[in-house]
Amino acid sequence: MSKSEAISWYRIQEMFRFQSFHMFGIIGTAVLSGIFFTWLIKVIKGKDVNGEDIQFPGKERSWKRYLFGGLIFGLGWALTGACPGPIFVLLGQGYAVMLVVIIGSLLGTYTYGVFKSKLPH
């Protein structure tokens, strides 16, 4: 992540300001790779480590959950300058302030778990 500059606050800000294709290229490559390997697993009928078929359960086609979840995720990403994966890389590189982001992420996840049954899904 360091070599690709995916943890760079400047690269992330460029992306949110639509000033650079760099981060969109990284994200797009990840999405296309995910699509390809999911398709490949389905075609070759891939098995897990226990020898059982890998299953891909269907998802509910509710657009509101993805819109609101994406907005919350994107706002957090824009405010902190880091998405969940790179925060650990940044902490490992010595940016101690990322502990605040990690603690905030964990508290947000815990809060969601507490209120999950009361939220529309």
42-71 mean pLDDT: 86
**Mind listing the pLDDT tens digit for each residue in 70-121?**
898 888 877 877 777 788 888 888 889 889 989 988 998 899 899 988 877 6
Q: What is the DSSP string of 15-73?
A: HHTT--SHHHHHHHHHHHHHHHHHHHHHHTT-B-TTSPBP--------HHHHHHHHHHH
- pTM of structure: 0.59
With a cut of 80, say whether residue 7 has pLDDT above it: no
**Mind listing the pLDDT tens digit for each residue in 9-42?**
677 778 778 888 877 888 889 999 999 999 999 9
